[in-house]
Amino acid sequence: MASVKITDLHKTYGTTKVIEGLDLAVDDGRFVVLLGPSGCGKSTLLRMIAGLESITAGDVLFDDKRVNDVHAKDRNIAMVFQNYALYAHMSVRKNMAFSMRLKKTDKKIIDEKVKWASSILGLDDYLDRLPKELSGGQRQRVAMGRAIVRDPDVFLFDEPLSNLDAKLRVQMRTEIKDLHQRLKTTTIYVTHDQIEAMTMADEVVIMRDGVIEQSGSPMEIYDRPNNLFVAQFIGSPGMNIIECRVTGENGTLYGAAEGLQLPLPSGANVSVGQNIYYGVRPEHFRSSRQVAASAGGKAIAGAVRVVEPTGPEIHVYAKLAGQDICSISRERVIWDPGEEIFFDPDLDHVHLFDGVSKKAL
């Protein structure tokens, strides 16, 4: 086990800058998820930690030892690849035993380890099969088995679940988390799937264009996004964002957009005339057939467009002064398309972002 520290890391391909001055510290035993849209540099970062990609500038440290020039084979890491990268001509057993065979580990120990890993991963019956004779989920587990028999200092996962179907993905998610809780090995996990990130991580690191936008616990990131990008990236359906300008009326401040007056939380750090983004998560955007009392006579009214019942909750999409808005409710209200609907934002959970810097206010 080891801690991983990255300081002022840079990566460029020719003139293209992929990672620019990135700092990251992963404490021993933590499960950190690198999350971001395609092309944000998260996979490159992971591959640099693995030693598969050269480092343009900056340092990667394992347990405070610089490993920039240490070859991948000597870093004692294990990695699970998106497309599994199994050895096609070797049986499941040999795939898992490969690293130990290279180290000339005692055959008895190899057998024991393979047995241990296969029982954890439910691969006992498949040990003598070739990868091509396995399903996607089984191959994924072989790739994990190959990683855990190693007893690595750090686990690296590169979008390991993105080739699996939805049901299997949920199942593997739980298995990986369970595995981490048992083994307590430092883990760095790359994904573009926010649900994976939220459900598995001790700490989520959100990246965009080679820079860390925000890092923190999943709930911290969800509840207190640092900036507009993070606010929009996390959450599904996404946060409702309404561009507006702060206006004052009788000492009360409002966010005014075309045909709308949105109440601001008391003590909001804004001034009259400022352009802001007004963000409310769907579940904090209560909907009803009556004008809410808190609206102070300024009804936020729209027209229902689409209703999506998901089972536990109902997603209502509506047009609000020309903008698409989503509201989630757990009440079984039946809406008809075109019906008038009133919204009431939960002021404790309203997020305001500066119109220029897009940072949280």
What distance in Å separates the CA atoms of residue 77 and residue 49, rounded to the nearest whole number?
Answer: 9
Q: Select from 15-23, 76-84, 303-311, 343-351 the region that touches other proteins (CB under 8 A).
A: 76-84
Binding flag, residue 130, other proteins (CB under 8 A): no
Nearest CB to other proteins, comparing residues 56 and 247: 56
Residues 135-164 within binding reach of other proteins (CB under 8 A)? 146, 150
Closer residue to other proteins (CB): 146 or 192: 146
Exactly one of 61, 70, 85, 168 binds other proteins (CB under 8 A); that residue is 85
Specify the residue, 14 or 312, whose C-beta has the smaller distance to other proteins. 14
By C-beta, is 50 or 260 nearer to other proteins?
A: 50
Least separation, in Å, of the C-beta of 38 and other proteins?
Answer: 18
Q: State the minimum distance, in angstroms, from the CB of residue 81 to other proteins.
A: 5
Of 39, 54, 65, 83, which one interacts with other proteins (CB under 8 A)?
Answer: 83
356 binds other proteins (CB under 8 A): no
Round to whole Å and give the CA distance between 37 and 197: 12
Give min distance, CB of 108 to other proteins, in A.
Answer: 20
Is 133 a residue that touches other proteins (CB under 8 A)?
Answer: no
Residues 31-70 that bind other proteins (CB under 8 A): 50-52
Alpha carbon distance 251, 176 (integer Å): 53
**Is 71 a binder of other proteins (CB under 8 A)?**
yes
* 98 lies in the site for other proteins, by CB under 8 A: yes
Binding mask 101-120 for other proteins (x = CB under 8 A): -xx-----------------
Choice from 77, 204, 221, 276 touching other proteins (CB under 8 A): 77
**Judged by CB, which is closer to other proteins: 152, or 282?**
152
**Near other proteins by CB under 8 A: residue from 34, 67, 78, 234:** 78
Residue 215's beta-bridge partner residues? 205
Residues in contact with other proteins by CB under 8 A are 50-52, 71-75, 77-79, 81, 83-89, 98-99, 102-103, 146, 150
